[in-house]
Amino acid sequence: MTSSRSATVSAASAAQAALTTAAAVHRLAQLYESLSPEMLPQLAQCYASGARFKDPFNDLQGVPAIVRVFEHMFATLERPRFVVTQRIVQGDQAFLVWEFYFRLRHKRWCNEQFIRGATHLQLDAHGLVALHRDYWDAAEELYEKLPALGGLMRWLRRQMATT
């Protein structure tokens, strides 16, 4: 095979991989936006069996463990839902920018809360998520909104801020 032919094949393979990644990220974003307890088994169609999941509270591996994170979410929160506001795909990696809306189950009087965050995804050769890493500020987005911790967290933020 000539070098120009091999470069063309290589470019075509890269383009196909980018399409596969974009389609996988689109499918995952749609799943998260419509996630319900009944849909949790569908996570196994989007994640590699040994996928790693990390967020401010969890660092675990494997689809069953990832499913348990979301089972816990549905058990402890009222009406949790994700809204994906941006998707950025490059090669085998992607970022999802999202808003997460919920109500605290034990505080029925509480207004709907939301957290802004982003997820870094790395996909394997089959278009399955191998790494899912959530980035969000637990202090600002969660702790400051809690009655017992909120005042302390806001005070700490003021103390640490530059004047």
For the segment 58-117, what is each residue's pLDDT rounded down to a tens digit?
999 999 999 999 999 999 999 999 999 999 999 999 999 999 998 877 765 567 888 899
- Quickly state the pLDDT bin for 38 (edges 50, 70, 90): very high
Instruction: Please count the other Cβ atoms lying within 10 Å of the Cβ belonging to residue 66.
Output: 22
Q: Looking at residue 24, what is its pLDDT?
A: 94
* 3-state SS, residue 115: strand
Exposure string over 105-125, b if 16+ CB within 10 A, otherwise e? eeeeeeeebebebebebbbee
Going by C-alpha positions, the residue among 29, 27, 20 that lies closest to residue 124 is 20
How far apart, in whole angstroms, are the C-alpha atoms of residue 139 and residue 142? 6
| pTM of the predicted protein model | 0.77
Over residues 22-50, mean pLDDT: 96
Tell me which DSSP letter residue 142 carries.
Answer: T
**DSSP bridge pairs for 47:** 129
What is the percentage of the chain residues whose pLDDT exceeds 90?
Answer: 59
Q: Looking at residue 3, what is its pLDDT?
A: 58
